[in-house]
Amino acid sequence: MGAGDGAALRYDPETGRVARKVMLRDADGVDRGMLIVLRSPGQTARCFEPALLEQAFNLTPAEARLACALMRTKSLAAAIKELGLKEKTGRTYLDRVFQKTGARSQLQLYATLMDLYLVSGVGA
């Protein structure tokens, strides 16, 4: 399941929150639901619990751990080292995460995960 295109943004000047609607689609492009993303200014970025990523994108536990490590380290090499993976294994997991999230780059993946993180309330 990946984040779909066409996300709509709304800004509430009273609260300072930005809301974004993100459609979730499976690999065949079939709509599977949506998430509403709320972002408050100054909110600190931390990682999801891997279980949230597993549920949101149908990731395996290992893929979700890699995605979280990427959010912390901002580097595939560092994430692979942190998790004790072989480089080929890490790259395979990353390719699968890209497929399931619809991301085409680590930057796009990070942006997608940050959007979802901000609505989850993890670490709040």
Rounded to whole angstroms, the Cα distance separating 100 from 112 reads 12
| 53-85 tens-digit pLDDT | 888 899 999 999 999 998 888 889 999 999 999
What is the rounded end-to-end Cα distance, in angstroms, of the chain? 26
Distance from C-alpha of 36 to C-alpha of 83, rounded to nearest angstrom: 31
Q: How confident is the model at residue 3 (pLDDT cuts 50, 70, 90)?
A: very low
Q: Which domain holds residue 68?
A: 2-120
Average pLDDT, the chain: 75
Query: pLDDT by residue (tens digit) across 21-35?
Result: 666 666 666 766 665
Tokens at residue 67, please? 């995605």
Domain count, the chain: 1
What CATH code is carried by the domain that includes residue 18? 1.10.10.10
Q: Which amino acid is at 1?
A: M
- Using CB atoms within 10 Å of the CB of residue 87, give its burial: 0 to 12 exposed, 13 to 18 middle, 19+ buried: exposed
Angle between helices 76-83 and 61-73 in degrees, nearest 10: 130
